[in-house]
Amino acid sequence: MNTQTSASGRRDPRDLLLPELEQVVAQAGQPRFRVRQLAQWLYARRVEDFDSMSNLPVEFRRYLKNHFKLEHLEPLAVNRSLDGTVKLLLALGDRREIESVIIPTPQRVTLCISSQAGCAMGCAFCATARMGLERNLTTAEIIAEVIAASRHVDRGEHLTNYVFMGMGEPLANYPRLLRALTIMTAPWGLGISPRRITVSTVGLVPMIEKLMAETSVHLAVSLTATTNELRDRLAPINRRYPLEQLLETCRRLDLGRRRITFEYVMLAGVNDSAADAQRLARLLAPLRAKVNLIFFNPFPGAQFQPSSRAVVERFQSVLFRNNLTATIRESRGRDIAAACGQLRVEHHACAVGEE
């Protein structure tokens, strides 16, 4: 059975897949139908204490309380933007912190999910990189993050799309990510269609192939440069898995009806020239891909500035002329520290200022 544990030392049942929940029920001496009831409380009703599981026998609830713990991710800060974006700073059981972002648009409500506390990838354009990696999230913490965020969606709305683009490199936490994706998409779990889930990576090549082979979710690759020289500086993982290896791996993937999204953060005077756009078009020509051009969200101490809208639109037009699908992701939540990792920094700065 999986051995992920909470800060208390007890496991969270949301770490467990269905066969493992069946083992729990059997070990507690309960009939098999209790598995379905337990899963309904965990995922359909999303309760966070065993006493609320009213149709479970008292002795089973006592067994669960003695052997398991349901982690509750406490919101330390909830910031709401004028554009409707909601950013959450959530405390884990050991008081480490992660960020989640709810992004509403007329067509969908997207949740940006963290998979690690901090990040080890060291990308120069990312505020989270300055934290370094504190630790991986457990499967249960990822699920609890989704549940916690769902409680902060505006009335009358619900989450429709899920993107692993928050704190951390999801593929560096692959075993727990895979279990979380299984629970998120299972009929006995959260019941989310895999078509509604995207996992973003900065380029962990071996894990990209595993993700695409073992799941039906969508893939996004944070590219942000068209030469190895520049990408080495912006995303140091490129020194291990250079552009040629990354793109060849993407070309070989069995995608079915899926299409890879390449994310390209627009940095003024760094990667936003017409020559960059032409190189990007040539690199992606052999792939079934689309490009998402992203306005850089500045953060304190950042060495970059966002490209102007005119420059981004010119860049997009070059891609269009080369028959690439290219969208512009509008900058959201800039009034609430939207850059990933920034809310955590600002929250602690305010706390220090209040002492």
Indicate the pTM of the whole model: 0.93
Tokens read off for 301: 């101490």
Is residue 197 within 8 A of residue 217, CB to CB? The reply is yes
Query: Domain spans of the chain?
Result: 13-67, 74-354
Closest CA to 70 of 135, 147, 140, 148: 140
Residue 341 scores a pLDDT above 60: no
Active site residue ranges: 99, 340
Q: How confident is the model at residue 256 (pLDDT cuts 50, 70, 90)?
A: confident
Average pLDDT over residues 222-235: 98
Q: What was the pLDDT predicted at 331?
A: 73
Positive or negative CA dihedral for 251, 209, 185, 171? negative
Cα 53 to Cα 126: distance, rounded to the nearest angstrom: 42
Give the per-residue pLDDT at 2: 45
Give the mean pLDDT of 37-51.
97
Is the pLDDT at 183 greater than 70? The verdict is yes
pLDDT of residue 343: 60
Residue 98 near residue 110, CB atoms below 8 Å: no
Mention every residue, 6+ apart, whose C-beta is less than 8 A from residue 255.
212, 288
CB-based contacts of 8, cutoff 8 Å, min separation 6 = 69, 93
d(CA 320, CA 316): 6
**pLDDT of res. 8:** 52
Nearest Cα neighbor of 193 from 219, 177, 217 is 217
List, for residues 320-330, the tens digit of each pLDDT value: 999 999 999 98
- 22: confidence class by pLDDT, cuts 50, 70, 90: very high
Asked whether 195 and 218 are in contact (CB, 8 A), the reply is yes
Token duo for residue 176: 């727990």
Could you read off the pLDDT of 278-306 as tens digits, one per residue?
A: 999 999 999 989 999 999 988 888 999 99
- Average pLDDT for residues 22-34, to the nearest whole number? 98
Mean pLDDT of 107-126: 96
Amino acid at 59: E
Question: Which architecture, in CATH terms, is 13-67?
Answer: Orthogonal Bundle (1.10)
Q: What angle do CA 210, 215, 220 make, to 5 degrees?
A: 75
Neighbouring C-beta atoms of residue 217, cutoff 10 Å:
24
| Mean pLDDT taken over the chain | 92
pLDDT surpassing 50 at residue 349: no
Q: What is the pLDDT of residue 63?
A: 98
Of the ranges 23-32, 181-190, 247-256, which one carries the lowest mean pLDDT score?
A: 247-256
Class of domain 74-354: alpha beta
% residues pLDDT > 70 (the chain): 91
What was the pLDDT predicted at 300? 87
CB-based contacts of 158, cutoff 8 Å, min separation 6? 109, 150
